[in-house]
């Protein structure tokens, strides 16, 4: 096996670089998670409302009220989370 020389920076430089990277991307990671959750919520609303709208069981005005109640429920759940 052939050996190749490798230069390794001091630990503090590596730690500083990793910390900087983590700080730079942490907002993106949080945004991705938030978007995933919002996507799930919207898909659930779609799956609940669309069949009712198509069948005529629910009218647009009713759907708007339903959405307002759902949004209030989501906001209340967010407030109760630690």
- In Å, how far are 13, 19, 30 from 35, measured between CA atoms? 33, 24, 9
pTM of the model: 0.54
Read off the pLDDT of residues 24-71 as tens digits, 9 standing for 90 and up: 998 898 899 999 999 998 899 899 888 988 898 878 877 788 788 888
Q: Which of 82, 78, 77, 71 minimizes the C-alpha distance to 44?
A: 71
CA distance 20 to 53: 49
């Amino acid at each position: 096996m052939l050996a190749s020389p490798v230069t390794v920076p001091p630990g503090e430089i590596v730690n500083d670089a990793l910390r900087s990277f983590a700080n730079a991307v942490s907002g993106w990671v949080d945004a991705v998670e938030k978007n995933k959750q919002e996507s799930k919520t919207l898909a659930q609303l779609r799956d609940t409302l669309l069949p009712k709208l198509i069948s005529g069981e629910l009218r647009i005005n009713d759907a708007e009220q339903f959405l307002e109640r759902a949004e209030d429920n989501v906001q209340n759940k967010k407030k109760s989370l630690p």
